[in-house]
Structure 1
Amino acid sequence: MKSSKRWFWLGLAGVILLGLVLLAIAPVSNPRTQGSSFSRFPDGYGAWYAYMENQGVDIQRWQRPPEALMAEALMAEAPMAEATMVPMTLLQVMPPGVTPFIGTWNDWIAQGNTLIILGVSQPATEAVFSSQISSASGEVQIDTRRRRSPTLINNQDNLLGDRYGAVVWQQAIGEGQLIQASTPHLAANAYQDAPGNFAFLADLATRSGQTIWVDEYLHGYEQLTPEDEQAAGIISPRSWSMYLAETPWLLVVVQAIALTLALLWGFRRLGTPIALPTPVANNSEAYITALASVLRQAKSTGFVIEMVAKAERLQLQKQLGLGSSPVPDETLVATWAKQTGHTPNTLTRWLRLGQRAIASGRQSSSLSEQELVDWLQTTRKLRSDPPP
């Protein structure tokens, strides 16, 4: 029982995976290519084009703008060109949403050419959607309710239709013919097995005995000549020299200068950039700060006082010119009083407090805080009033 369930779920997963793969690789139809003789989709005309080639019909694909056909027709109006002008048949299968501009072709048709347009929009009628309509080529399968109203036919020929109206009709313009159909799928790939669809369109295209051209430019397939590119404003590699020759270089140079000035102004709005000075590291100050922090953590206040007292006495001795060797206090006091003109009591008291400060550094504390402050103030005064 468990084995059968497992195979069921595996099979279901395989079917789902296969469906996803098929969806992923399935070709997607482009609306613009509907009706193209390059298309193998049901709405394409690739099978009918191959059918015509197998019949030995002179059929080709037109991949240039329609204006090129009209231009050739206008050139053929000259007396010397009339002998070389060969009438042709142009087949246009309109993609969805594209409306043919029939009026622009009137002059071209009047010169003896034939234009076949499949997919000319017409109003829907009460006809059934799918119907078989008899023709000289056999039963033609028609899947549309759209018909050309009989009241609008007048000077037009109904080539294929029923009591609801014409599906295919023809109108003479000058020496040429305009053939229109309300369905774009008259001989699409989907009707390969229909008895008369391919043959009916083949009869329409070949009855004039002209070369048949299938308009592929209408479906996005282009094979432009240099003249077509120039007319469309397309610059080909061959025309770069012409493009450069026509370029207003003065305007380009002015714009380049303006852009350069704007960039310079953007980077130098306040003048020449000033580099920030690199801070100079004071190693002595850093060493003193670090040492003071260590001594404070070790509670070595006495050691600091002793070092300061000895250093200040030696500094004063050097200022008095007594050298760096220790001298008696009497000599130091007498020399100081003589050089500064002050009474010796100030220096005598300072020396005594210094000795007590040194003694307090070696012992616990024999110098009060006020006495230490007085000694430091006297030290500052001696520094600010050195001997001459």
Structure 2
Amino acid sequence: MDFAFDARTEELRARLLAFMDEYVYPAEQVAHEQRAALDSPWENVPVVEELKAEARRQGLWNLFLPDSEYGAGLTNLQYAPLAEIMGRSPQIAPTVTNCAAPDTGNMEVLTQFGDEQQRKQWLQPLLAGEIRSAFAMTEPDVASSDATNITTHIERDGDEYVVSGRKWYISGAMHPDCRIFIVMGKTDPDGADIRRQQSMVLVPRDTPGVRIERAMQVFGYEDHYHGGHAEVIFDGARVPVSNLIGEEGGGFAIAQARLGPGRIHHCMRLIGMAERAIELMCRRAASRDAFGKALAQQGVVQNWIADARVAVEQLRLLVLKTAWMMDTVGNRGAHTEIQAIKIATPRTVVGILDRAIQLYGAGGVSQDFPLAELYAGARTLMIADGPDEVHQRSLARRELKKYL
């Protein structure tokens, strides 16, 4: 592994850093004020729409997609430092560059497993940023950390599938431009192989029987820029059999393929969030006095900042190694490393953000600084895409297998 970024990565990093300084950071407060003035918090924010056009004009668009036919054609190792930069403003930067979840994962699914018609109808407008999407997997009535527990039914009836079930924390579903759900459910609930019982189908949002029940909050935040999270009821929603993604029984495998890149993208952005927190800590420490001297001169504050820097450097190396392995030996070959970063990165970044909040005092938990919202996002990633304990269990079993 070469620790230096290649020429294309350096060029894109420079352009993206300039874009962040000139457009994204100044837009954060503007977007907050504009959203407060809207009739509905789910409406598109004017400054965000303006930044989308600017990002696309500058070629900072669909950077996440490794397939050069549809996206930038970057490797995981090339995309990693770009995702880190976007993670410094995780609400706005990924959104305006069309690199925000859940659309990224859904576009990857359609690229890898969708047929020609599905790509034309749904992938192309997603790539263009004309529509948004949602991924409906998690359910409230079962332990969704084990995807084989899913109870949503996808039953064939002639030339149609009938979808019935209850989902929640369905990211993107509240966005007014959300037009399509990728729904995971069971087409063969009694099948002998529990990992072949599930399938995925495309369900347009306006399908009769699809009902958005309510918006779900995360620590009181609604994540408006990414389309929020919703409880969704599928009550006998009918779609053509042609809306099946891949094959019947392939849903579990597709989910795993989708979550692999998603996990590393989250970890890349988390490092950017940690860097933003360190910057904010240093600025606060340099500008405030307590007990007769600057906070920057207090030993405990110095320790927090030093420990944060060490932790971020360690995490970055592990994430870059994982990206490199995904590029060279594939997701399966990098399984251990993917799980390692999924375990280590959120919990470490949560700790850094917690110290930053402590340093800011009451301001740290307020809406006047980004720390509380960053904390909510980072803490959620200890659950999203598989809770830490599931990855720990799998990783430990793989290690123990060498000796048993």
Question: What is the TM-score of this pair, normalised by structure 2?
Answer: 0.21
Q: Which has the larger radius of gyration?
A: 1
Whichever structure has more helix as a proportion of its residues is 2
Question: What is the TM-score of this pair, normalised by structure 1?
Answer: 0.22
